[in-house]
């Protein structure tokens, strides 16, 4: 099997060069986002590691209705665009619904499919059809060898720019 390199900005994902995907899990207010970006830029310069800035405009898989789930697509994309403009990081965000893919792709470099949604055909195909890099997080419920299925859906949709994020997996009851 040959090694596949997927470019995200000036980062070669799949090469021997280490990079980080880092940032607030969900977009907070703009001040927090800019403060985090400033700190990440300092870390990038000091340590010499490249960073993809990650934050989600919506976290639709929260375990409680009481948890903050983000500012929404429009406001979130405006904040992420400002981070990109001021700091130059490539951007990654989660998408949860097919209709979020195209608008998010106008701003970010990578569309991330959350682990719980990795087998959702319409979502994976919509992300693929944007032409952007698609990062599929491995669902813990899915045996590793079955990650070939979302990959094939993306490839069959005409996109070979795919990153997989391993999360581990479990079956049965944990004690």
Q: Concatenate the DSSP letters of all residues of 40-82 into one string.
A: HHHHIIIII-EEEEE-BS--TT-S-TTS---S-HHHHHHHHHH
Task: Tell me if 174 is assigned to some domain.
Answer: no
Phi then psi for residue 41, to 5 deg, are -60, -40
pLDDT digits (tens, 9 = 90+) for 118-162: 999 999 999 999 999 999 999 888 888 889 999 999 999 999 999
Query: For residue 135, what are the β-bridge partners?
Result: 112, 163
Place 166 in a pLDDT band, splitting at 50, 70 and 90. confident
Place 171 in a pLDDT band, splitting at 50, 70 and 90. low
Residues of the chain above pLDDT 90, percent: 78
From the list 43, 2, 40, the residue with the least C-alpha distance to 22 is 40
Burial class of 57 by CB neighbour count within 10 A (0 to 12, 13 to 18, 19+): buried
- Domain with 129, as residue range(s), is 6-165
pLDDT at 18 over 60: yes
Helix (H) or strand (E) run with residue 163 in it: strand 162-165
- The CATH number for 25's domain is 3.20.20.70
Task: Tell me if 170 is assigned to some domain.
Answer: no
Distance CA 72, CA 77 (A): 8
pLDDT at 60 over 60: yes
Task: Tell me if 45 is assigned to some domain.
Answer: yes
Task: Tell me if 175 is assigned to some domain.
Answer: no
pLDDT at 1 over 60: no
Task: Tell me if 62 is assigned to some domain.
Answer: yes
Q: State residue 86's pLDDT score.
A: 97
Task: Tell me if 29 is assigned to some domain.
Answer: yes
Task: Tell me if 136 is assigned to some domain.
Answer: yes
Q: Is 134 helix (H, G, I), strand (E, B) or coil?
A: strand
Task: Tell me if 171 is assigned to some domain.
Answer: no
Q: How many domains does the chain have?
A: 1
The region of weakest confidence among 3-7, 17-21, 39-43, 57-61 is 57-61
Q: State residue 61's pLDDT score.
A: 73
Average pLDDT, the chain: 92
């Amino acid at each position: 099997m040959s090694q596949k390199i997927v470019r995200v900005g000036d980062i070669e994902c799949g090469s021997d060069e280490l990079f980080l995907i880092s940032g607030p899990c969900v977009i907070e207010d703009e001040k927090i986002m800019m403060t985090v970006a400033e700190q990440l830029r300092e870390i990038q310069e000091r340590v010499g590691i490249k960073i993809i800035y990650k934050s989600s405009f919506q976290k639709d898989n929260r375990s409680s209705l009481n948890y903050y789930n983000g500012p929404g697509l429009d406001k979130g994309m405006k904040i992420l665009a400002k981070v990109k403009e001021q700091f130059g990081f490539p951007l990654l965000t989660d998408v949860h619904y097919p209709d979020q893919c195209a608008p998010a792709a106008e701003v970010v470099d990578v569309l991330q499919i959350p682990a719980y949604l990795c087998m959702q055909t319409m979502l994976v195909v919509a992300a693929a059809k944007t032409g952007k890099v698609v990062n599929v997080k491995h669902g813990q419920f899915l045996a590793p060898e079955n990650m070939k299925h979302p990959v094939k859906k993306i490839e069959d949709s005409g996109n070979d720019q795919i990153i997989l994020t391993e999360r581990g997996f479990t079956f049965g009851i944990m004690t």
